[in-house]
A and B are shown apart, each in its own frame.
Chain A
């Protein structure tokens, strides 16, 4: 049996996905990237192989993506995360025209054409404002777990205004809000609003077309998704494990490439 692997080495986490000839997912793992890209890719792939109960020679082709994509010596090809998120989102939700990916350290909005091909994209990669890292810092400040942010935000009765998505400035804003005894839920909702407003300007730059799919770790935060749906004016597709969409896309491309090569 021929299998295909995709590995997405991101700034905070590394994902590996293995699919079979029919594009069925046989393994998916998420691990922290830590300090060494090659090691992270190796560890994630080994874990995925174990999960699939497969051995390395069964992998017909491996595609690497993410910031660490060039540091995977055993990958047959490196493809950018933009193309991979597009391919993954298109596979999971074929009606997808716009992909919003908010990862650990950057965010991007991708417009897809027919067949999931990237038509246009825009990125915020200059700073981690309004990304997963931003939420991690804020959650720690407010004594909440990352996975609690969504439910807490949705339980908010009001919303406080946060003027900055700069992690450093927003943190000091949160400090003063805490000092004023503003409810934690309202602060969290305000933080989510700030993220959504920032992403929204990127969404507008490439335009909304067809269905909207959100990928990346922040898509797990139902608070952000809800506010974003409000802005977009339509429901947003979120896969049950949005962090692996890039790696899935890479695996799908590995399968396509293997076919093209015969």
Chain B
């Protein structure tokens, strides 16, 4: 680590970032706010969320040299990295940002021009497209010293991060989580916990920081508390009317995904939770007219979040739960400070995408009951095979068991070239017609 870089980072953290935030706040005040015909008043926490994420991306530019920088997959046990002071960056979060900023087709095309298939995950293509072109909606991404991946979300991350390791010529640490076909076995747990313990030596070498058990436990506790609070945030949506829409949570989930194990994420969700509980107490709904309550399956369609948010609200429909946002809260109860490595392994290996379809079916049945869901929208995402496979069976089984209406829309998470507006509209309108009494 270099002294100059550390000083520059310090300067930006103490003066640059606060100045940027103050400028943003000053700009925001000029905009008048009008009551919206479809939605309840905007959340106060939203401004804080934007600041947190903007600061995170802003400081990331100055992190290289001052901190060891790791690029991490969304399902990797980042709590371990916190011990060594890594500045963490999430290519999947960046991919979502590329999608929301409508930059994905251009970046994906750049990756395709270098021989990557159009069938490859578009998060991976956005990220590789950024590597080839240097373009990003975030301006500049921090050059990594380490790649940290877990295949608990898909096998693609393994090969995607291998490609990055090759291009950047840096080490890749992979946390390999055997797929859970039935029950997690003792040998699986031993195998996974062993990997986590083995990672300590290379992490010490790359970061130049010694492992510290007390710090590790503190990081685990912070990660656990953050995920738990995120779970409580989602649970406020069980109320009628729900104080949030799933489209809100697609943005509010950013800290639990990419700042997990840091105080800022935990503090944020405490503030958010307080505001939501107040809304519940006062009966304020996110959608003014919440006639029907829906569930979303699969990753968001980042380029359509705003349009869909309006479209569903216009029909008096609110998404109150998603298997996707739930994933960062679902398994946190397995974390046990008395058995840190094994319980961390268990927490991360039993996530929805590393678990069998029976598990997914019963999870969906439970969520449908808990959140009083009237209908289900299934996004079949061209990018995400592990999430999309089995959806037609799940749809059929949920129809048989719960007589719950559902619709499949075939699209992509960020690459809008795989999305057809007219065809999706027809399917959604037919779904709305079927939901009407």
A interface residue numbers (CB < 8 A to B) = 67, 79-83, 117-123, 125-126, 205-207
Verify A82–B405 contact, CB threshold 8 A: no
Nearest chain A CB to B399's CB is how many angstroms away? 6
> Told that A118-B430, A121-B407 touch, could you supply 10 new A-B pairs with CB distance under 8 A?
A80-B429, A80-B433, A81-B426, A118-B433, A119-B434, A123-B426, A125-B420, A125-B423, A126-B410, A126-B423
CB-based nearest A residue for B410 = A126
Residue from B405, B407, B433 whose CB has the most chain A CB atoms within 10 Å: B433
Verify B408–A122 contact, CB threshold 8 A: yes
CB-based nearest B residue for A79 = B433
Give the 5 A-B residue pairs with the shortest CB-CB distance, closest first: A82-B430, A80-B430, A118-B434, A125-B423, A83-B433
Q: How far is the CA of A208 from the CA of B420 in the complex (A)?
A: 29
Q: A-facing mask of B391-424, CB < 8 A → 1, else 0?
A: 0100110010001011110100000000010110
Verify B396–A207 contact, CB threshold 8 A: yes
Q: How far is the CA of A41 from the CA of B147 in the complex (A)?
A: 58
Q: Does B50 reach chain A (CB closer than 8 Å)?
A: no
Verify B405–A120 contact, CB threshold 8 A: yes
CB-based nearest A residue for B400 = A207
Nearest chain B CB to A87's CB is how many angstroms away? 10
Q: How far is the CA of A206 from the CA of B400 in the complex (A)?
A: 10
Verify A82–B396 contact, CB threshold 8 A: no
CB-based nearest A residue for B432 = A80
Nearest chain A CB to B422's CB is how many angstroms away? 7
Nearest chain B CB to A62's CB is how many angstroms away? 17
Which residues in chain B, 354-410, are within 8 Å of chain A measured between CB atoms? Answer: 392, 395-396, 399, 403, 405-408, 410
CB-based nearest B residue for A106 = B423
Residues of B within 8 A of A80 (CB): 426, 429-430, 433
Verify B433–A82 contact, CB threshold 8 A: yes
Q: Does B427 reach chain A (CB closer than 8 Å)?
A: yes
Contact sample, A vs B, 23 pairs, CB 8 Å cutoff: A67-B422, A80-B426, A80-B430, A80-B433, A81-B426, A81-B430, A83-B433, A83-B434, A117-B434, A118-B430, A118-B433, A119-B399, A119-B403, A120-B399, A121-B407, A121-B430, A123-B423, A123-B427, A126-B410, A126-B420, A126-B423, A205-B395, A206-B396
Q: How far is the CA of A122 from the CA of B395 in the complex (A)?
A: 11
Verify A120–B430 contact, CB threshold 8 A: no
List the count of A-B residue pairs having beta carbons below 8 Å apart.
48
Main secondary structure of the interface of B (DSSP, over half): helix
B interface residue numbers (CB < 8 A to A) = 392, 395-396, 399, 403, 405-408, 410, 420, 422-423, 426-427, 429-430, 433-434
Nearest chain B CB to A166's CB is how many angstroms away? 16
CB-based nearest A residue for B404 = A120
CB-based nearest B residue for A110 = B430
Residue from A67, A80, A206 whose CB has the most chain B CB atoms within 10 Å: A80
Nearest chain A CB to B173's CB is how many angstroms away? 39
Known: A80-B433, A82-B433. A120 touches B406 (CB 8 A): yes
Residues of A within 8 A of B392 (CB): 122, 205
Nearest chain B CB to A69's CB is how many angstroms away? 9
Q: How far is the CA of A118 from the CA of B408 in the complex (A)?
A: 15
Q: Which of A119, A122, A126 contacts B405 (CB 8 A)?
A: A119
Known: A117-B434, A126-B410, A207-B396. A67 touches B426 (CB 8 A): yes
Q: How far is the CA of A80 from the CA of B8 in the complex (A)?
A: 59
Residue from A117, A120, A207 whose CB has the most chain B CB atoms within 10 Å: A120
Verify A125–B426 contact, CB threshold 8 A: yes
Q: How far is the CA of A122 from the CA of B427 in the complex (A)?
A: 9
CB-based nearest A residue for B422 = A67
CB-based nearest A residue for B407 = A121
Q: How far is the CA of A118 from the CA of B437 in the complex (A)?
A: 11
Residues of B within 8 A of A67 (CB): 422, 426
Residues of A within 8 A of B426 (CB): 67, 80-82, 123, 125
CB-based nearest A residue for B428 = A80
Q: How far is the CA of A121 from the CA of B433 in the complex (A)?
A: 12
Nearest chain A CB to B298's CB is how many angstroms away? 17
Residues of A within 8 A of B433 (CB): 79-80, 82-83, 118
Q: How far is the CA of A140 from the CA of B429 in the complex (A)?
A: 36
Q: How far is the CA of A19 from the CA of B311 in the complex (A)?
A: 33
Known: A80-B426, A81-B426, A126-B410. A205 touches B434 (CB 8 A): no
CB-based nearest A residue for B392 = A205
Q: How far is the CA of A119 from the CA of B406 in the complex (A)?
A: 9
Verify B406–A83 contact, CB threshold 8 A: no
Nearest chain A CB to B15's CB is how many angstroms away? 53
Residues of A within 8 A of B399 (CB): 119-120
Residues of A within 8 A of B395 (CB): 205
Nearest chain B CB to A183's CB is how many angstroms away? 37
Residues of B within 8 A of A126 (CB): 410, 420, 423
Q: How far is the CA of A90 from the CA of B123 in the complex (A)?
A: 45
Q: How far is the CA of A117 from the CA of B399 in the complex (A)?
A: 15
Q: How far is the CA of A205 from the CA of B410 in the complex (A)?
A: 15
Residues of A within 8 A of B407 (CB): 121
CB-based nearest B residue for A78 = B429
CB-based nearest B residue for A108 = B430
Residues of B within 8 A of A206 (CB): 396
Residues of B within 8 A of A83 (CB): 430, 433-434
Residues of A within 8 A of B422 (CB): 67
Q: How far is the CA of A80 from the CA of B433 in the complex (A)?
A: 8
Q: How far is the CA of A123 from the CA of B408 in the complex (A)?
A: 9
